[in-house]
Structures are given as C-alpha cells and as structure tokens.
Structure 1
Amino acid sequence: MTEESDPLCLPTATAAALLADAPWRRFGVIGDSLSAGIGDPTPGYANQGWADRVANVLKLVHPDLQYLNTSESGVTTARTVTHQLDRMLDFGPDLMHLPCGPNDILRRHPDFGEIENTMRRMYDLAAGTRAQLTTFTLGRAFIVPAFADWHERMVTMNGITRRLAAEYDAVVIDMWNHPVNDRDNLLSADRIHFSTSGQAVMATEVVQHLARVLKTDE
C-alpha cells in the first residue's frame, strides 16, 4: 500500500478542497513528539509529520499562511506551558494544536489531578488567543510495556483530554479506537511513535475534523 492507495488518506488536493473556506492564516502547534509528528519513514509515503502535512494543505488554501511548531520531543505538559506557550502567544495563532499528555503518564506514579490542573492552565492560556483549538487522544497502539497499568493510564489521560476539550470547545481528533491502530507497520522502531504512514492518516483526520467545524459554522 502507498499513500495514494491508502483508503484512510486524502490526496492533498482533496484535502485542500475540503478546507477551501478555511479562515485560518496562523497555524500554531505546541507540545511533544506527537505534536511534532516524529516517526520513521514508511515506503510509499511522504516523509512528513502530520502537522507539516496540515500546514501544507492550509498553504494551498492561503499561500500566505504562517506556521509555527515549537514542539520538543519528550516534554511534559508542564514544560510545554513554561517553555513554549509564551512564544506561541506572541505568534498569535488563529488555529492552535495542543498536546494530550503522553509524557505526563510516563512517570512512575503520575498524579492525574496535577496533570489535569496543568492541562487546564494550558487550555486557559491557549483560549486567550481566540484560536480554534485542536488536540488528539492517544491511540491504543501506543504501548509502554514497562507499566502494567498502561492501558488504564491512557484511558484516564484520554478522559482528561476529552473533558477539557469539551469545556474549551477544542476539536478532538480521537485516535484511541481508530482503525489505523491495527496496522502492522504503524509504529516506528521505538514502538511508540507512529511511522509516516500513521502521520499521513492523522493529517487526514485533522483535515476532516476541521472541515466539519467549517460546516458547523455555516
């Protein structure tokens, strides 16, 4: 299978057509390696992360689009808030993607109350930009065998993400039960990050969710 034949991927021109009426001209992304779109190359797929792909689609709609991705691999939500948000707020996005806490739950004993409070602060600050906010949920293919309760950690983290996103009118691109999770070649060699085939699917999901926002706003 290639990107062109993948039933879960949209051709770039089709994706741009879906966002033809998009008002967004300043696309900002903060967070960790998931936000950055890090992943191993997959034969037959462009070697790009989901965020760069979405930015390229938006640039077809608005060639003057400004795009800033401040994501850093391995950072927690707390570090995102303290080391990335000021720069992003100065950028002034009208479309902004927020992380969903994968590194927060890698601690030996994660404090979910503290995590939710930190995420709420991030959402508060992001909402001040008046940007359309987006986020992912963690896909079930993201597995860290070192923790026996990993499934429960992901379920709890995704619950926090969905709850805050609903409160702040953020678009949730729900990857938890997406069929891409069942693909044998989905994960990179580290068995954590989606390969570029998965990145292509994630980009398609973001575009389709944003297209629904445009229809709702009509």
Structure 2
Amino acid sequence: MTPIHANELADPDVLGGNEEFALLRGAPWRRLAVLGDSAAAGVGDATDGYMRITWAERVARGLRGHHPQLVYRNFGRRGLVTAEVAAEQLQPALAFAPDLAIVVAGGNDVLRQLFSPEQVAAELDAIVAPLRAQGADVALFTLFDITCAVALPEPWGRRLGERLGALSALTAAVARRRGALLIDCAGHPRAADPSLYSGDMIHLNMRGQAVCAGAAMRTLSRALHPPVEAFA
C-alpha cells in the first residue's frame, strides 16, 4: 500500500523526522511563540501526498523531539499589517514569555497602495526589540517571492517584486541590528517553484509549508551548531 503522505516522504526539500531531530540537537527552547499575519498562521491549501500541518507546527514538532513539554503559541492572524501585529500580538507574546519567538510580517504591507519600507522597518523593530530585551531568541522570515514563480501582469508584477525585495532588505537589517536570526526564504533554492503556492497564488500550500519549515529548522540548526573555522 502506498503511504498516504508518499509525496512528502519522497520530497528532498522536506525534512524527515530523523533529520529534524539531528538538526535541532541541543536546542534549548521550551516556549515557542509565533507572531505575524496569515503567513505566520499557516493559511494554505491542502496538497496531495503531504500532511496538512503548517510550517510552525512542524517546527514545534521538531523542537518537541528534544523537549516533549515544549509550549507553543501561535498569535498569527490573517490580514494584519506589521503595525497591527505589533499592536495586537506583542503584549500577549511578552506575557507568554517565549524563549524563542518567530516573527513573520510585512506581506500585507507590500500589497497596500502606499508602502513605506522605513515605516515597516520601524514597526518590525518595535516588535523585535522588546522580545530581545526580555531575553527571547528571535527569528525573522524573508518571504518567498511569488514574482519569481509566476508571471504577473505589469506593471504590478515589477512593482510587487521591488516591494518584496525592499521587505527582505529591511527584515535582514532589523535582524542584524537586534541580533536576531534570519530565515531567508527569499533566497531559497525553491523560491521560483510555483508548486509551493495555494490556488490564490499568495499563500504557501502544504508542500510550501513543509519546505518553509525545513528552511526554518536549518536556520535554527546553524545557530545551534555554528561551523568551526579551520586555522591556517
């Protein structure tokens, strides 16, 4: 009998349980918070042959392999811009007192008629800084660029690509400034793969969620197991 999740099991871009366990060896985190918009919440279509489980649930599962009592809260909600994430989710997240917080925001900002990278950077920083000050490790996401995978009508396609590039740059800058990790989906080898997307061509489907989870866990693993530089 063919396994119900056969496509996932055969997908080289999706981590298996043993890979997750090895990558997250030594992980200290026991309280995981996820903040953001629909990308944080894990909105997306089912995909044949893949488990219906969001990227954040996969990360939580991987961490529970080492700490079964890990507590996970996802504050993500569909449709929020970065300022709304800060206003609605920051205080509840601080009260939850995570030792690892993952923030995914900015995707709805780039879809608005007016988009200010400087304003979004300030709003994202206002989320990250208090979490870091409270002692949490923080990871930020850059987003997969749909314009690399699908031809969109012009000039909208070009403008969206430029805005997503600006969002990636400001997210990376905030991460550097605050000592946060950067999960770089914008630079992922599968960034141009249209099969990662739901029918709305905005949200990741369950294959995309699985690939995204792999990127997140590999980033966490690099922080846990930094490469040892060879001496000349």
Give your verdict on TM over 0.5.
yes
Instruction: Determine the structure 2 residue equivalent to 1:123.
Output: 128
Count of aligned residue pairs for this structure pair: 218
Instruction: Determine the structure 2 residue equivalent to 1:160.
Output: 170
Instruction: Determine the structure 1 residue equivalent to 2:216.
Output: 206
**Alignment deviations for residues 77-134 of structure 1 (CA, whole Å, 9 cap, x no partner):** 1111111111110000001001231111111011222212111211212212211111
TM-score relative to the length of structure 1: 0.94
Instruction: Determine the structure 1 residue equivalent to 2:51.
Output: 46
Instruction: Determine the structure 1 residue equivalent to 2:98.
Output: 93
Is 2:77 the counterpart of 1:63? no
| Identical-pair percentage | 35
TM-score relative to the length of structure 2: 0.88
Decide whether the 8 Å contact of 2:31 with 2:97 is kept in 1: yes
**1:83 aligned to 85, 88, 94, which one?**
88
Gaps of 5+ in 1: none
RMSD: 1.9
Decide whether the 8 Å contact of 2:81 with 2:105 is kept in 1: no
- Please identify the structure whose Cα radius of gyration is greater: 2
- Comparing 11-20 with 93-102, greater Cα deviation is found at 11-20
CA distance in 2, matches of 1:134, 1:217: 19
Is 2:26 the counterpart of 1:21? yes
